[in-house]
Amino acid sequence: MKKVFIFALSLSALAFTSSIFAGPSNIEINIQCPLPEDPTSGLGNFGDFIGGYGIENIQKQNKTIYFKSVKPISDQIPSDLKKYHNTNVNYDSVKGEVTCQYTGNGSDFTVMYTMQNGKGGFVINQTPAIIYLQLPVGFVK
């Protein structure tokens, strides 16, 4: 009887240990930068900064997110940004930041969004205005 109990205890400890060391589960997220040609994005030069609304899609649920410039902006950038276009979008997995770069009228700018719990992911695909990510969200058995 004692051997059966020890064997059962060993099996349960092994099962518990394997669930602790299981790999993370990933979810797919895509983030769309503010689009200069879309009036609903509100992308504009506000004097001290440039800001506008993008979209974060997590498991087919859209959420409006705000992007804002982090560097001082050039005096050459006009208030109307319709002549600008997206050139690149990047993800920094260490900081959880998504940056969108724009060019037009001879002066470039970048806006940024910091994801909540968005660290440690990796890029699946990207276009000049959208980035597709996978983020670890938990553990699977």
Domain extents in the chain: 23-139
Give pLDDT tens digits along the chain (141 positions): 555 444 444 445 444 444 455 666 889 999 999 999 988 898 999 999 999 999 999 988 999 999 999 888 888 899 889 899 999 999 999 999 999 999 997 789 999 999 998 999 999 999 999 999 999 887 655
Strand intervals (E) in 33-108: 44-45, 50-58, 61-68, 85-92, 97-103
pLDDT for the residue numbered 87: 96
pLDDT computed for residue 70 by the predictor: 86
**So what's the pLDDT on residue 74?**
87
pLDDT of residue 30: 96
pLDDT for 110 equals: 96
Distances (CA, A) of 38 to 35, 54, 106: 5, 10, 21
Instruction: Give the pLDDT confidence score for residue 20 in this predicted structure.
Output: 56
Residues 6+ apart with CB under 8 A from 4: none
Q: Residue 141's pLDDT is what?
A: 55
Task: Supply the pLDDT for residue 18.
Answer: 47
What pLDDT score does 25 carry? 85
Q: How far apart are CA 56 and CA 66, in angstroms?
A: 10
